[in-house]
Amino acid sequence: KVINTTTVQVHPPDGYRIFRNGEYKEVQYSFKEVFNIGGTQKHVFDVVAKPLVDDLIHGKNGLLFTYGVTGSGKTYTMTGSPGDGGLLPRCLDMIFNSIGSLQAKRYVFKLDDKNGVEVQCDVDALLERQKREVFQTPKTPSSKRQIDPEIADMINVQNNCKAEEVDEDNVYSVFVSYIEIYNNYIYDLLDEGPFDPIKPKLPQSKILREDQNHNMYVAGCTEVEVKSTEEAFEVFWRGQKKRRIANTQLNRESSRSHSVFLIKLAQAPLDASGDNVLQDRELITFSQLSLVDLAGSERTNRTKAEGNRLREAGNINQSLMTLRTCIEALRENQTYGTNKMVPYRDSKLTHLFKNYFDGEGKVRMIVCVNPKAEDYDESLQVLRFAELTQEVEVARPAEKPVCGLIPGRRFKNQAFREELSRQLEIRGGPIDGDRERSITEVLLQNFPPMSSCELLDIHDDQTLPRLIEVLEKRHRIRQMLSEEFSKNVHSVKGMLQELDSSIVSKENYAQVKMAERDKFIAAQKTEIERLEKKAKTLEYKIEILEKTTTIYEEEKRNLQQELESKSQKLQRQVSDKRRLEARLQGMVTETTMKWEKECERRVAAKQLEMQNKLWVKDEKLKQLKAIVTEPKGSKPERPSREKDREKPLQRSLSPPPVPNAPPVRIRHRRSRSAGERWVDHKPPSNVQTETVMQPHVPHSITVAAANEKALAKCDKYMLTHQELASDGEIETKLIKVKWASNQAGRQAREFPKCVRKRRSSPSSRSPAEEGTESEWTDVETRCSVAVEMKAGSHLGPGYQHHAQPKRRKP
């Protein structure tokens, strides 16, 4: 996503996570210029390549290369498409638009095999042209040659762009060459050796050498002198057809090599007359522009490459890695002031362009990015590396040779010749050779012929007067010619003075204009300096704001992480609380059900007890009635009850106790030596107390429910009752009852002690308390009043008697 003209933002595709916690991470990268999807080839050329072409014409070197993942559009950016040419045809068009009328004749500039150039005279250049035409296949002149329609569409850019301030006193010549770096070997794409269909000759790799100026060049590379955009692009297209491309999983026509198109411009000044080129080799300026289309970096596991494709991908990635290593080393040397060795020789690509990275010219990179989700990781690496290269700034001043001649001499001499011819036309037209010859012949014909000068007779008085007359006539004609010649001389001198004055006035006007322009340029420079200072201030503020933003983002990220941790902790607490509530709710529900059952059982027991009391009262009334109505010796009759109820009623009934009489057991009293026996009543719902403080019950009969048989055999009764306390602990109560029989055969119970023992619930005990004894609390409650109970009644779980006063007879 393009944020602005200098910033691009990259976000991961759907389903891609950067961190383990599943957060998305968006990254921003800043560049000198960012072109969006709608950017045109012309816009890219104006921003990136046009300054490099301008520097080339002014004698400076330049390097432009495209970098990116396979299939991101590097070759399209460099070459373009029919009807919309890329950077290369636009660069060629700008060069020839700027120097079109200032080009030297073919072979005036002659390249040597050592990356140098020398100047030949017109005669040697003519001989060289004739020699090339004899030994080479004659070709149709470039003006009459039919251009390939595909090439015509490519170069039809209609840019009409020209460089500014082109030196018009120089002559120029353009040379192009085209090479490729394949598997770390250099091959010449313009090499046209003899083709043998039976044994095709493999292309020979080239070697790199260093010239006397310590610049690297490809030895033995074919360099073609071109005079037009069409001719230059035709040479490029001829080499492009030989370039190695292949079909891969990522690109149908993937470049398997790094291609380098070299444009060399030679320029030399004219002599003082403005007609011939100075042949001083030190005055020749030789500049170079390299247009590099790098092969795309790719992952072999994505391309499924095998064999040659795998080897090619490995060499491509290795050369690109060496390029990155060299730039990182340059950045480290520049940033920290170190002198770390830059490994240029590890790859032919970096070794060839070593001079550019050392400051011999400008280097510009176009980063091509494909928004495909599959290229996300590779695109991040490309953008990170491209942003890093912006910090490398190495510049070396270019030394331009000075010839010491007056500038503008070419057009001054041309203007002088044009003005002279115009003045001659005004005064009678130009004097060509035939007309001058005819005038001379007319003048010579007008001269009177010389008569014979011999005096044969002493008395001859005619010969000398005739000779004197002829000589006088000739003298007059000569005077007339001299006067005419002096007039012509004066007229020509006046014309020259007028021309000189006009030239001086034009020079003065030009100087005034130059002074005004210099003032304007100085004002512009001042404004530029002010804007640069303002830009630096704004950049400093932007840097401060970026740092502040980074700090705030870090704090925001930390606070978000802290908030997430606290929210997770709160969620855990809420979940623990819900689990505890559910557990307590279950316990409360279970306890409620138990208590409901216990209450139902107690109500049933109470009803049974009240029925028993009612039966006892009825029996007593019947006995009293029988005692009152019957004589004393008779036995009391049984109550009119059913037979199955009479026996238990008789056993349970006893005469009213005698006041202040001690309780007496009906059955035979055993001796004390036999010991006391207990009924240990433990309901099945009891929970083990898990403590060493267990009640000691000697000679006990343990029962789950109290019955009459067990009570008849024992002297004492103990009930273990458990219930849930309000604090969530289990409270255990031990209810002890002592039996006694009175004289009437009734059994009475005494409640001497009620022991409560409380045990913490397992859920409330900490892990450190596991295995330790539970906490017990003994509470004794004494009852001093005996309670009458039916022998057949029993105490259920949790049942506790209340003291009731004895009823006496009226």
Any known ligand binding at 501? Answer: no
Q: What values do phi and psi take at 62, rounded to 5?
A: -150, 150
Alpha-carbon distance of 197 to 573, in angstroms, equals 85
Q: What values do phi and psi take at 485, rounded to 5?
A: -65, -40
Return the structure tokens found at 255.
Answer: 């470049």
**How many beta carbons lie within 10 A of that of residue 67, not counting itself?**
23
Specify whether the CB–CB gap between 446 and 474 falls below 8 A: no
DSSP string, 562-591: HHHHHHHHHHHHHHHHHHHHHHHHHHHHHH
Return the structure tokens found at 497.
Answer: 């003075």
Alpha-carbon distance of 736 to 750, in angstroms, equals 9
Query: What sign has the CA pseudo-torsion 327, 328, 334, 338?
Result: negative
- Measured torsion, CA atoms of residues 238, 240, 243, 248, in degrees rounded to the nearest 10: -140
Residue where the block lists tokens 């559910």: 582
Any known ligand binding at 74? Answer: yes
Specify whether the CB–CB gap between 312 and 180 falls below 8 A: no
- Torsion region of 83: left, alpha or beta (phi above 0 gives left; psi -120 to 50 gives alpha): left
Any known ligand binding at 71? Answer: yes
Instruction: Give Cα separations from 269 to 110, 172, 266, 277, 397 (angstroms).
Output: 15, 9, 11, 6, 21
Burial class (CB in 10 A: 0-12, 13-18, 19+), 783: middle
Angle (CA) 303 304 305, round 5°: 85
Give the distance from CA 552 to its chain's centroid.
Answer: 21
Give exposure, 321-354, as e/b (b: 16+ Cβ within 10 Å). Answer: ebbbbbbbbbbebeeeeeeeebebebbbbbbbbb
Alpha-carbon distance of 744 to 657, in angstroms, equals 6
Specify whether the CB–CB gap between 728 and 761 falls below 8 A: yes
* Residue from 285, 277, 287, 510 nearest 402 by CA: 285
Any known ligand binding at 222? Answer: no
Specify whether the CB–CB gap between 66 and 294 falls below 8 A: yes
Any known ligand binding at 75? Answer: yes
Any known ligand binding at 72? Answer: yes
User: Over the Cα atoms of the chain, what is R_g?
Assistant: 62
DSSP string, 471-540: HHHHHHHHHHHHHHHHHHHHHHHHHHHHHHHHHHHHHHHHHHHHHHHHHHHHHHHHHHHHHHHHHHHHHH
Alpha-carbon distance of 665 to 655, in angstroms, equals 13
Give exposure, 747-774, as e/b (b: 16+ Cβ within 10 Å). Answer: bbbbbebbbbbbbbeeeebeeeeeeeeb
Q: What type of residue sits at position 663?
A: P
Alpha-carbon distance of 395 to 359, in angstroms, equals 5
Alpha-carbon distance of 130 to 141, in angstroms, equals 14
SS3 254: strand
Strands 170-182 and 258-269 turn out to be antiparallel
Q: Could you list the residues known to form a binding site, using ranges.
A: 68-75
Q: Could you list the residues known to form a binding site for ATP, using ranges.
A: 68-75
